[in-house]
Amino acid sequence: MKLIVGLGNPGAEYDGTRHNVGFDVVDEVARRWGLEFQSAPADAVFAKSHGPPGGPPAALLLKPLTFMNRSGQAVGTVQRYYRVEFSDLFVVTEDVNLSLGRLRARRQGSDGGHNGLRSVIECLGTQTFSRLRIGVGRGDPRRGLAGRVLSRFDAEERPAMDEAVGRAADAVGLFVELGIEPVMNQFNRQDTAEGEADEEAGE
């Protein structure tokens, strides 16, 4: 059983913000698979696919209802409850250090300064789980990061992000079917923009 986690903040005031791109991706996967979210055995909501015949592959889609910096509590509870192997966990989140719409999949690694990933690592006690980061752009470097990630996308940014969310949902489907290697091979091929820094260390 694969566990797909989208990171974000609960509440309507955070809908559509850069911080909630992980939620947007698992929502798109649930839409494609015809699943509905329900209460999870944790402070979260989840949607469960039982697998064939005739339906999507067996997987759990999870949205923690804690705030971002405590996401790991729900992830750890559900991971233990369903006895999900760390190799079957895929965390989807935004990243201000990647250019707008760019995807970067990794088999494992540090939190790269991301509070949600830090919480997941702390609560699981390991960095050895796969993750997909979606670039939301750094924006004006004079602005604080908190303000950036809690802002909504400009009208001219929205098409690129909608396309990125769709590709990220494709990546989730590929991970569930075949694991992290094909995801990395397919979705990490975009060239790094000149001068862009990939801040995630330890990979």
Residue 141 has pLDDT above 60, yes or no: no
The mean pLDDT value for 14-37 works out to 93
The mean of the pLDDT values for the chain is 87
Where does the pLDDT of residue 191 fall: very low under 50, low under 70, confident under 90, or very high at 90 and above?
Answer: very low
Is there a domain that residue 197 lies in? Answer: no
The mean pLDDT value for 108-133 works out to 95
Residue 55 has pLDDT above 80, yes or no: no
Where does the pLDDT of residue 200 fall: very low under 50, low under 70, confident under 90, or very high at 90 and above?
Answer: very low
| Helix, coil or strand: residue 199 | coil
Query: pTM of whole model > 0.85?
Result: yes
Q: pLDDT tens digits for 149-173?
A: 667 777 888 899 999 999 999 999 9
Is there a domain that residue 199 lies in? Answer: no
114 is catalytic: no
Residue 195 has pLDDT above 90, yes or no: no
Is there a domain that residue 45 lies in? Answer: yes
Closest CA relative to residue 39, chosen from 62, 23, 66: 62
Is there a domain that residue 83 lies in? Answer: yes
Q: What is the DSSP string of 46-83?
A: EEEE---SSSPPSEEEEEE-S-GGGHHHHHHHHHHHTT
Catalytic: which of 19, 63, 102, 106? 19
Residue 192 has pLDDT above 50, yes or no: no
Number of domains composing the chain: 1
Is there a domain that residue 133 lies in? Answer: yes
Q: Give whichever of 108-117, 132-141, 171-180 has the largest mean pLDDT.
A: 171-180
Is there a domain that residue 196 lies in? Answer: no
Angle at 159 between CA 157 and CA 160, to 5 degrees: 70
Q: Is 8 exposed, middle or buried, given 0-12, 13-18 or 19+ CB atoms closer than 10 A? A: buried
Residue 139 has pLDDT above 80, yes or no: no
Gap between the Cα atoms of 55 and 136, Å rounded: 32
Beta bridge partners, 197, equal: none
The mean pLDDT value for 70-75 works out to 96
- Which is more confidently placed, 154 or 130? 130
Is there a domain that residue 195 lies in? Answer: no
The mean pLDDT value for 80-100 works out to 94
| pLDDT value of position 203 | 44
Find the domain containing 17 and state its range: 2-187
The CATH number of residue 69's host domain is: 3.40.50.1470
**Residue 60 contacts residue 74 (beta carbons within 8 Å):** no
Is there a domain that residue 203 lies in? Answer: no
- Which is more confidently placed, 143 or 54? 54
